[in-house]
């Protein structure tokens, strides 16, 4: 087999392939066996029909077509490997010559394939990347904020006889309609006024509303089958409550922690705030290094893959005709692809590999975000064929960590920040799952298969 590659643009190639009949013949022989097992010819046992009879009954062109269909993918993959290509998306194949149709064993199977490929990226030296981050400074206000969060966890809700105001907690019933037709109802909903997590216009409607009162407001629905449509929502308030916080004293310290005094508790909260600021600083550095790479490197993206992904996204939202949103989704898709290409290039250059403990650690973290048991989450990913995507995500995170480890990171005070602790891989041991039950089932073989 001979193949050659023509670069159509930075992210698309045309592969020309010539396969001698001798290399196609195993597929032809297999095609005769397959067809012979499917046809019934008097005087011959099924599966034992001679090739000449099949040619007479079915036709030689049908056999050759079967052989080409079965062998084409293998020849394409051989050409991809021979030319060290990294294809993406669905290839477009055009066959120009098919040998053996006249019964001879001469000529070549000739075809071309157009396919999108990953662009070639020349990475900069990591120490040429310099970013600036916020310094770690734990203030009394930070400690107060940590203490306030802790007090909130131990707070209690009490009913009040007054109109609802921002930050109050309310219990309400809701009826949504479009053009007078009811589309949804819900009862005994608990909501904090001002949270902004439900319907647009709801916070304004609740402000000043008292228990047993009803009001109606107009809104644009953001999700479900009526996403983007405008309708009316009627809400009836049944209770207004405020959160009462415990006093921040020694009694509270003993209730909420292992410490005897509020002073000891505050000191521990100061340390926690400092650790959180270290994490925030590392994440800020990581994001800025990635931003520097994407801004510095001129990485082309495949137009067809972008267009297909944008169309799929807009169809899922029923917003195909929203030109402004199409532009936003296109820009986001292009940005995500560029980021992926850069991190994949770093991963290849650094020969990044994902270990089982790293995969399990990420899986547990992701499962917690979805509120699922890690084992059930792992099973869901496996059933939906998403394990490759999970491994890819972990690989890219490690690739970015490699770039961050080599970059120069300073805070705004001019101090050089050591990113070693933030970029160090986890210890080589499998963590327990979030509920302390059996460890997540992911085998070494599964990890190796995905790398």
Structural domains in the chain plus CATH codes: 2-116 (3.30.70.1050), 121-154+249-450 (1.10.3120.10), 156-244 (3.10.50.40)
Kindly indicate the confidence band of residue 43, based on its pLDDT and cuts at 50, 70 and 90: confident
pLDDT tens digit sequence for 282-306: 999 999 999 999 999 999 999 999 9
What is the CA angle 418-424-429, rounded to 5?
A: 155
Q: Please tell me the pTM assigned to this model.
A: 0.74
pLDDT tens digit sequence for 342-401: 999 999 999 999 998 998 999 998 888 888 888 998 899 888 888 888 899 999 999 999
Kindly indicate the confidence band of residue 436, based on its pLDDT and cuts at 50, 70 and 90: very low
Across 27-49, average pLDDT: 86
CA 160 vs. chain centroid, Å, equals: 44
Buried b (16+ CB within 10 A) or exposed e, 364-386: bebbeeeeebbbebbeebeeeee
CA distance linking residue 228 with residue 224, whole number of Å: 9
Q: Which helix (H) or strand (E) holds 182?
A: strand 181-192
């Amino acid at each position: 087999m001979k193949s050659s590659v023509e670069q159509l643009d930075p992210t698309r190639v045309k592969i020309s392939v010539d396969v001698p009949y001798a290399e196609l013949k195993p597929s032809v022989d297999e095609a005769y066996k397959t067809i012979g097992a499917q046809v019934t010819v008097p005087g011959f046992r099924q599966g034992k029909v001679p090739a000449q009879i099949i040619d007479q009954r079915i036709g030689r062109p049908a056999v050759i077509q079967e052989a080409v269909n079965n062998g084409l993918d293998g020849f394409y993959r051989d050409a991809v490997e021979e030319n060290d290509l990294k294809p993406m998306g669905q290839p477009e194949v055009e066959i120009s010559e098919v040998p053996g149709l006249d019964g001879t064993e001469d000529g070549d199977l000739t075809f071309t394939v157009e396919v999108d490929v990953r662009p070639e990226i020349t990475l900069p030296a990591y120490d040429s990347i310099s970013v600036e981050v916020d310094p770690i400074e734990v203030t009394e206000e930070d400690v107060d904020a940590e203490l306030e969060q802790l007090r909130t966890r131990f707070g209690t809700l009490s009913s009040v006889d007054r109109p609802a105001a921002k930050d109050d907690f309310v219990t309400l019933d809701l009826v949504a309609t479009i053009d007078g037709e009811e589309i949804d109802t819900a009862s005994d909903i608990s909501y904090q006024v001002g949270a902004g997590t439900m319907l647009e216009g709801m916070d304004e409607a609740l402000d000043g509303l008292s228990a047993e009162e009803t009001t109606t407001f107009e809104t644009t629905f953001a999700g479900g089958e009526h996403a983007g449509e405008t309708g009316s929502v009627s809400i009836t308030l049944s209770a207004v409550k405020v959160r009462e916080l415990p006093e921040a004293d020694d009694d509270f310290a003993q209730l909420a922690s292992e410490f005897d005094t509020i002073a000891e508790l505050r000191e521990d909260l100061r340390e926690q705030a400092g650790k959180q600021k270290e994490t925030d600083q590392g994440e800020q550095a990581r994001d800025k290094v990635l931003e520097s790479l994407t801004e510095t490197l001129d990485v082309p993206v495949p137009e067809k893959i972008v267009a297909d992904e944008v169309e799929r996204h807009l169809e899922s939202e029923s917003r195909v005709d929203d030109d402004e949103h199409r532009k936003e989704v296109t820009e986001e898709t292009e940005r995500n692809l560029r980021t992926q290409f850069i991190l994949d290039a770093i991963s290849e250059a650094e020969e990044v590999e994902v270990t089982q403990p790293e995969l399990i650690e990420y899986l547990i973290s992701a499962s917690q975000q979805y509120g699922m048991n890690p084992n059930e989450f792992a099973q869901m990913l496996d059933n939906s064929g998403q394990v490759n995507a999970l491994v890819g995500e972990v690989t890219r995170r490690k690739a970015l960590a490699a770039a961050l480890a080599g970059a120069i990171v300073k805070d705004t005070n001019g101090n050089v920040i050591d990113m070693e602790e933030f970029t160090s891989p986890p210890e080589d041991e499998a963590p327990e799952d979030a509920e302390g039950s059996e460890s997540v089932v992911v085998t070494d073989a599964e990890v190796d298969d995905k790398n």
